[in-house]
Amino acid sequence: MDRTTYCGFVRKLSLYSLPYQIMRNLIPDPSWSDADPIPVMKVTCEIEEARVLLDLANRVYPDAAPDISKAIDSVSETPAEE
């Protein structure tokens, strides 16, 4: 999700909540450069945690929900490693 959406969603979370801790698990996006106007924030978590974030986003910050849903869908479509 873009940084503006990420920050807006995180601001809605309690600092001591599990969703806040999940959202703090960021990894660098190798496709981002200084030339990009808005960096992309990539959060690493388990699929169950992502579903919790999606449910919460739908209730407290709906602008974040489409990005979380898209991320869940992309993982769900990825074949399992053998």
- Give residue 3's pLDDT: 85
Average pLDDT on 3-14 reads 93
pLDDT digit string (tens) for 23-71? Answer: 999 876 666 566 665 677 888 999 999 999 999 999 999 999 999 999 9
- pTM of the predicted model as reported, rounded to 2 decimal places: 0.79
Residue 72 has pLDDT above 90, yes or no: yes
The DSSP result for the chain, as a single string, is -BHHHHHHHHHTS-TTSHHHHHHT-EE--TT--TT-SSPBPEE---HHHHHHHHHHHHHH-GGGHHHHHHHHHHHHTSPPP-
